Amino acid sequence: MTKIKICGLSRECDIDYANRILPEFIGFVFYKGSKRYVTPENAAELKSRLDYRIAAVGVFVDEDPETIAGLVKSETIDMIQLHGSEDSKYIARLRELTECPIIQAFRVESAEDISRAAVSEADFILLDSGAGSGKLFDHALIKDLSRPYFLAGGITPDNVKDVIKKFAPYAVDASSSMETDGFKDFDKMNALVNAARD
């Protein structure tokens, strides 16, 4: 069954929402340029409220590997998601510091982007139309991809069932489509989980 990740949680009520619907993953954004940014201290507090069945993914953009490893060691995050220009050397350095699973995100605009993602040295890849843009990319580009992947970009309660049926991704990832006026909306989160698991 396709797993569910809801990204960009930043408030105590967001964690409470997640605990009610139990997606397999939630995401904390540690990139200061994001409107969904959380400080390490805030994330640690939120993680302490999170149901143990949900894995917390830390989202980073070209962050210092030692900083990321510190968040793993403190058990603030359970997985690492890379959204910048991190390369194989960067991933190798992270692996020296931690055994935490790594997701590498790729913005998909062409078949070449899929080819790059296919050979990533991360444990998982995430295919996205662009960071938090909420727009769908051409999913036909991924029909021949053989490795498991997270699928992000324009995933909504209205289309998630069709996306899962057509592509069977390892997981779907939603962020901006789960919000109303810039904040997580329980009804939208609940609708996504119900539609995906129906």
Catalytic residues: 7, 128
**pLDDT score of 134 more than 80:** no
Q: Which of 58-72, 88-102, 119-133 bottoms out in mean pLDDT, i.e. has the lowest? A: 119-133
Report pTM.
Answer: 0.94
Q: Which residue has the tokens 């209205």?
A: 158
Six-digit token pair at 178? 């789960």
- Helix/strand/coil for 195: helix
Helix axes 12-21, 40-49, angle to 10 degrees: 40
Planar angle of CA 108, 112, 113, nearest 5 degrees: 30
In the predicted model, what is the mean pLDDT of residues 181-195? Answer: 97
**pLDDT score of 47 more than 70:** yes
- Antiparallel, parallel or unpaired: β 179-180 and 3-7: unpaired
Confidence of residue 139 (pLDDT cuts 50, 70, 90): low
* Structural class in CATH, domain 3-197: alpha beta
Question: Could you tell me if 15 and 139 are in contact, meaning their C-beta atoms sit under 8 angstroms apart?
Answer: no
